[in-house]
Amino acid sequence: MSPLSHRPYAKMNGIGNEIVVLDLRDLAHAVTPAEARAIAAREPFDQLMVVQAPRTAGTDAFMRIYNTDGSESGACGNGTRCVAAQLMPALRTDRLTLETPTSLVVARRQGELFTVDMGRPRFAWNEIPLAEAFPDTRYIELQIGPIDAPVLHSPSAVSMGNPHAVFWVDRDPATFDLGRIGPLLENHPIFPERANISLAQVLDPGHVRVRVWERGAGLTRACGSAACAVAVAAARLKRTGRTVRITLPGGDLTIDWRERDDHVLMTGAVELEHHGTLDPAWFADAA
């Protein structure tokens, strides 16, 4: 029987980003991609946040992030807020330091809102990563559609601990068929580790409307790291200031790209949908 059998989980969302939080702090088990996919098939999520016992002094927990397709991500802003909402009451704190395989993330609570320090954005082509050297990633050479009338072109590329491409559009992102275009761009050879794809419409210097196709998960109602990527890319292009409201289909996030230390802070709400228990039958084919 899978060690995950009968484990309780929390189904949550971060402004519509569907998140399952699985607390395995008392169980030494590395969730496999097949197990993540098995859970996604019965309790659909955009990300599965697996919380494990802390590995480093000064941290509160270790965390791994799985997409619907079983792949792992280096960052998940909305999921981190959900993990914070689950752990903070039990640990009797409003501030947590969470370790992932690639970074340390600090989360704070202020009333109903959770702020996650997503760290520093990275803009170098090989850190995003891109398959070719681009000296300036504010716009990269990439387009889809007819060569003389592309549907989308010249995205900004950013790493927020995971790869993002941001296409600037001048009408409501909902009017694009992102469900069709998203997979083509996610898997474009220019992104050797695939990419999260955002369409962003700057409404004014303090407000951007965004729609996201997530790597490994598809169309989503929200993506926190994409909101951060859009905010820093827009500020780099001087299209916005460093503090912006990002409106996603599921709701709003406030992103503050702090001048003092270059860190990106993401603030928003979370919602608990229900609690559940992992059924042993789900893992019958996930060995």
What residues act catalytically? 76, 223
Tell me: is residue 206 an annotated ligand-binding position. no
3-class secondary structure per residue, 215-250: CCCEEECCCHHHHHHHHHHHHHCCCCCCEEEEEECC
Tell me: is residue 224 an annotated ligand-binding position. yes
Cβ–Cβ < 8 Å for 19, 79: yes
Phi/psi class of residue 81: alpha, beta or left (left: φ > 0; alpha: ψ in -120 to 50)? Answer: alpha
Question: Taking CB under 6 A as the rule, does residue 216 contact ligand LBFN2T5F?
Answer: yes
Tell me: is residue 126 an annotated ligand-binding position. no
Spatial CA neighbour of 48 closest among 88, 89, 10: 10
Binder of ligand LBFN2T5F out of 196, 201, 247, 267 (CB under 6 A): 196
The gap between the terminal CA atoms of the chain, to the nearest Å, is 10
Side-chain half-sphere of 89: how many Cα atoms within 13 Å? 5
| Nearest distance from C-beta of residue 148 to ligand LBFN2T5F, angstroms | 33
| Nearest distance from C-beta of residue 137 to ligand LBFN2T5F, angstroms | 17
- CA-CA distance, 97 to 99, in Å (whole number)? 7
Q: What is the β-pairing status of strands 47-52 and 17-24?
A: parallel
- CA-CA distance, 134 to 155, in Å (whole number)? 12
Tell me: is residue 250 an annotated ligand-binding position. no
Binder of ligand LBFN2T5F out of 70, 121, 224, 250 (CB under 6 A): 224
Binder of ligand LBFN2T5F out of 23, 35, 46, 186 (CB under 6 A): 46
Q: Binding segment for ligand LBFN2T5F among 67-75, 86-94, 144-152, 248-256 (CB under 6 A)? A: 67-75
Q: What is the β-pairing status of strands 243-248 and 264-268?
A: unpaired
Q: Binding segment for ligand LBFN2T5F among 21-29, 68-76, 99-107, 177-185 (CB under 6 A)? A: 68-76
Binder of ligand LBFN2T5F out of 211, 215, 221, 236 (CB under 6 A): 215
Phi/psi class of residue 194: alpha, beta or left (left: φ > 0; alpha: ψ in -120 to 50)? Answer: left
Count of residues of this chain found to bind ligand LBFN2T5F when the rule CB under 6 A is applied: 19
Residue number with CB closer to ligand LBFN2T5F (2 or 49)? 49
Question: Taking CB under 6 A as the rule, does residue 70 contact ligand LBFN2T5F?
Answer: no
At residue 75, what are phi and psi to the nearest 5 degrees? -155, 145
| Nearest distance from C-beta of residue 163 to ligand LBFN2T5F, angstroms | 7
Question: Taking CB under 6 A as the rule, does residue 115 contact ligand LBFN2T5F?
Answer: no
Cβ–Cβ < 8 Å for 224, 78: yes
Binding residues for substrate: 17, 47, 67, 77-78, 162, 196, 214-215, 224-225
Where does this chain bind ligand LBFN2T5F (CB under 6 A)? 17, 46-47, 67, 73, 75-79, 162, 196, 214-217, 223-225
